[in-house]
Homo-oligomer: A and B are copies of this chain.
């Protein structure tokens, strides 16, 4: 999984039937210190109630669909947790 910060929201009226009712959030990947990485923000589904500005854990790929009540949803990125805290040693020094 990766860390990100919720940066916004996307509205799409015409969409796949299995995405109807889905909350689509723009998530910016961040490093362990919370700083934005030089990586494109991605569009994630959210089922844990994340809000703008919150630091989250997100999952990529087919397992993202496991977070949905509708397992047929064509999604490849999902917020699966909201980060309380991190403890780590920066091994890259």
Q: Name the interface residues of A1-46: CB closer than 8 Å to any CB of B.
A: 1-3, 5, 7-16, 18-19, 24, 26, 28-29, 31-32, 36-38, 40-44
* Chain B residues in 8 Å Cβ range of A29: 40
User: Which B residues lie within 8 Å of A83 (CB)?
Assistant: 10-12
Residues in B whose Cβ lies below 8 Å from that of A3? 43
Q: Mark A35-65, 1 if CB is under 8 A from B, else 0.
A: 0111011111001110010000101111111
Report the nearest B residue to A70, measured CB to CB: B66
Are B43 and A2 interface neighbours, CB within 8 A?
yes
A81 touches B19 (CB 8 A): yes
Contacts of A49 in B (CB 8 A): 14
